[in-house]
Structure 1
Amino acid sequence: MRIAVVGAGLAGSATAWRLAQRGAQVTLLERATPANPQGSSHGSARIFRYAYPDPFYAKLVVEAREHWSELEDATGATFFRKTGALDFGAVRDPHQLAGVLTEAGVDHELLAAEEAAERWPGIRVDGPVLWHPAAGVIDAQAAVLAMTELARAAGATVHENWTVTAVVESGGRVSVRSADGDELTVDHVVLAAGGWLPELMPAVPVRVRQEQAFHFPYRDPAEAQRWPTFVHKRAGMSTYSLPGGRDADHRGQKVAEYFGGSEIASASANDGIVDPGNRQRLVDYVVRHLPGLIPEPYAETTCVFTCTADENFVIDTVGAVTVASPCSGHGAKFAPLLGAIIADAATGRARPAAKFRLPSAD
């Protein structure tokens, strides 16, 4: 079976790897280079957490962790850094999350605010806190490059600087056309185009946002290794944070506001300009809630954030095209597992979970 995978981000590289591993003839098409800064899979720090209000996703994280271990075994590299994670805030509901983690078999503790403040004096919490020590940070860029190379080693062809402009089904085959006039005809296409998906398949219910993240330096660099990831949800503002990776010199905490940016038509409209209003909100947040950080960002960036109304992924097959948008800001942690799920959908081996499917596909 000849399959083209459009997009060499986390989802696309994982899918190409899994398909090639199973013996499919795979061509991976990337508009720039794998894990390039214009997409959603660049950078060296993404949160890996188990705490989800929905037991389905919490259990999926448990399964995904095994796939990350498989990737590390296959490459001899390390993509996961254990930091532990905190969840707090009235909207976050730590008690409910604790019940979900109990059901999923994930070790955790519920802490009073006073106890959490004693353990993590650099973080000012505002109520009960959920702590789960198995959480951490994954290196997105390194994982993309590794999975792309594994796909190549298994026989896949990788084309960089190959911008897909159209996908056309005809006579049981699919033609993939490029901006340069090239054309590739295959049996099946996987659209893992991230923030460019609206340009290729506008009917898919995915929206794109231009978000931003800021890195704030630790007041005490000696405490850097003790900082966890965290999610803080309260009325009016939701934030998340994680220790910065190598692209931020490991000397500060990455802090961002969930849905703090603006909606854009597609990733092509990302102008790379940081919103000064969002910057100020995060500086004010650090002053109020993160006394262990200096409230002056030393690095900042915009990023493409794809999302759905219900925050579920979109993974489904219609005809000879599988749409793969594991988005809503929380797909990175599942990448190697999602490659297997998307490969199953593309080859007809198994349908994805009902909550991933397109509304018109059932």
Structure 2
Amino acid sequence: MSVTSIAVIGAGLAGAATAWQLARRGHEVTVLERSEPANHWGSSHGSARIFRYAYPDPLYTRLVVEARAGWDELERDGGASLITPAGAIDHGDERDPEGLARVLGEAGVAHELLSAAQARERWDGIAFSGPAVWHEAAGVIDAEGAVRTMLRLATDAGAVVRRDWPVAAVSRRDAGYRVVSATGEAVEAAQVVVAAGGWLPDLLGGLGLGPDVLRGFPPLEVRQEQAFHFPYRDGASDWPTIIHKTASMQVYALPGGRDADFRGQKVAEYNGGPTIPSAAWHDREIDATRQERVVAYVREHLPGLVPEPYAETTCLFTNTPDEDFVIDRVDGITILSPCSGHGAKFAPLIGEYAARLVEGGEVPERFRPLSVHGGRVHA
């Protein structure tokens, strides 16, 4: 059995960011990862996640501005390029480009509101039926590269990463906690940070949080998202990231990254994958009906792509009903999950928020549903 000040459960983006932020503050940190950091069974693998500022909710746009400063610091300290510039287009009857433009303007994010004709002239590989909002500061996050960079910085500052260490339960132990693995190993810690992503539904009842706190936890939905890579016609590659929302379908698309040979656009229906009980049920299987639905979308709305996928992948989205994050602390347990499919861009800020909670500080009340039920305890 080993002893540490803070045990971090999970080495995806949220867990790695937390380890980085805590270790650089001088905390003794042990990361407990059930397999490998950024593994393909979770939510943080691969090299292509969207970094964007456009949200209908001004809070999230403001937080992206804060998160960007953290990404800049991570790239500088880690000596790595983790966000590739691409810009972003938002359009569709249900996306409200005009409203998004107002939010971007209020946050000081440079943008353009374009008519359908203007957008078509600029991006002839995308079909536009109405206005679109463009902001150049968006890009593509190398998720796996970010995890590895944050963990490298964390270990350089003294953190320990334990692989193949699936957590089974957490219980009170004297003034702290005892974390037990599925194989019977144990780690004792003064505090625990849970960043388990899609495994949280299985783990939540074993954290010893108490019935009142558990009643306050929002219902969780885990989806096995289905993403497909489509080749660019004529070798074109200067595509933006895209969010297109209509009454019948919401799609996101982005340049595919190194894991798809940089030769196509990654396209997926948002929350279009099957619902599963937890990450333990993730089989990485592609559903043929859902694939055909995305292919049909590409054929109609993205004429600049060949509507024949050359690669495919699955990824987990763990959602709350309102898609808000849970970043909260009850006694000595801090929970950073779920991120509802849009948390990658906030990773450095989520790590910062976790460090604040561990040290007894504050984060936005909106992300703290457990404190209302469980009672906030300051360090």
TM-score (normalizing by structure 2): 0.93
Deviation, structure 1 residue 271: 1.1
**Which residue of the partner structure matches residue 134 of structure 1?**
137
CA contact (8 A) 1:313 1:326 kept: yes
Could you report, residue by residue, the CA deviation over 1:317-337 in whole angstroms, capped at 9, with x for unpaired residues? 011110101511110001111
Specify the code of the residue in structure 1 equivalent to 2:227.
A
Moved more, 78-87 or 319-328: 319-328
User: Alpha-carbon deviations, 1:217-255, whole Å to 9, x = none?
Assistant: 00121x20x200010011010000000000000000000
Long gaps (5+) in structure 1: none
- Residues 330-349 of structure 1 mapped to structure 2, 5 A cutoff: 330-348=342-360
Indicate if the aligned counterparts of 1:11 and 1:326 stay in contact, CA closer than 8 A. no
| Aligned residue in 2 for 1:109 | 112
What is the CA deviation profile of residues 154-173 of structure 1, one whole-angstrom value per residue up to 9, with x for unaligned ones? 00011000010001124331
Provide the C-alpha distance between the structure 2 equivalents of 1:361 and 1:213, rounded to a whole number of angstroms. 38
8 Å CA contact 1:241, 1:256 repeated in 2: yes
Query: Which of 365, 370, 378 is matched with 1:354 structurally?
Result: 365
Secondary structure of 2:233 counterpart: coil
Distance 1:268 1:130 in 2: 39
**TM-superposed deviation, 1:358:** 1.9
- Residue 351 of structure 1: how far off its partner (Å): 2.1
Q: TM-score, normalised by structure 1?
A: 0.97
Match of 2:103 among 95, 100, 103: 100
The answer to whether residue 61 in structure 2 is matched with residue 58 in structure 1 is: yes
Deviations 1:51-81 (A, max 9, x none): 0001110011011111101001101110011
The 1-side partners of 2:365 and 2:312 are apart by: 37
Counterpart AA for 1:104: A
Name the structure 2 match of 1:17.
Answer: 20
Equivalent in the alignment of 2:274: 262
User: What amino acid maps onto 2:155 in structure 1?
Assistant: R
* Partner SS for 1:303: strand
Return the match for 2:51 from 42, 45, 48: 48
Q: Is the 8 A contact 2:318 2:339 kept in 1?
A: yes
Query: Distance in 1 between the 2:201 and 2:170 partners?
Result: 13
After TM superposition, give the deviation of residue 347 of structure 1 in Å.
2.1
Matching residue within 214, 219, 231 for 1:217: 231
Query: 196-205 or 229-238, which moves further after superposition?
Result: 196-205
Instruction: Answer whether contact 1:238 1:258 (CA < 8 A) is retained.
Output: yes
Which of the residues 171, 183, 186 maps onto 1:183? Answer: 186
* Inter-partner Cα distance in structure 2 for 1:199 and 1:174: 19
SS at 1:42's partner residue?
A: coil
> Is the contact made by 1:240 and 1:255 (CA closer than 8 Å) also made in structure 2?
yes
Rounded to whole Å, the distance in 2 between the matches of 1:356 and 1:236 is: 29
Residues 201, 277 of structure 2: 8 Å contact kept: yes
Query: Match of 1:201, SS?
Result: helix
Match of 1:166 in 2: 169
Match of 2:147 among 144, 149, 160: 144
Amino acid across the alignment from 1:257: E
Q: Is the 8 A contact 2:89 2:242 kept in 1?
A: yes
Q: Helix, strand or coil: the match of 1:186?
A: strand
Tell me the SS of whatever aligns to 1:5.
Answer: strand
CA drift at 1:301: 1.0
Q: Does 1:241 align with 2:256?
A: no
Corresponding residue for residue 294 of structure 1: 306
Residue 88 of structure 2 is matched in structure 1 by: 85
1:275 aligns with 2:278: no
SS at match of 1:143: helix
Kindly state the Cα deviation for residue 361 of structure 1 after the two structures are TM-superposed: 4.1
Deviations 1:187-241 (A, max 9, x none): 10000001001111144423211111000000121x20x2000100110100000
SS in 2 for 1:34: coil
Checking the alignment, whether the CA contact within 8 Å between 2:89 and 2:241 is kept in structure 1 is yes
Distance 1:23 1:58 in 2: 31
Give the Cα separation in 2 of the matches to 1:200 and 1:337.
24
Between the aligned partners of 2:168 and 2:223, the Cα distance in structure 1 is 21
The CA distance in 2 between the partners of 1:2 and 1:347, in whole Å, is 12
Given the alignment of the two structures, is residue 308 of structure 1 paired with residue 320 of structure 2, yes or no?
yes
User: For the Cα contact (< 8 Å) 1:190–1:324, is it kept in 2?
Assistant: yes
CA distance in 2, matches of 1:232, 1:72: 30
Offset from partner CA, 1:119-174 (integer Å, 9 cap, x none): 00000012100000110101000000010111100000110000100011243311
Structure 2 unaligned spans of 5+: 206-213
Q: Is the 8 A contact 1:172 1:320 kept in 2?
A: no
How far apart are the structure 2 equivalents of 1:86 and 1:309? 26
Report if aligned partners of 2:5, 2:28 keep a CA contact under 8 Å in 1: yes
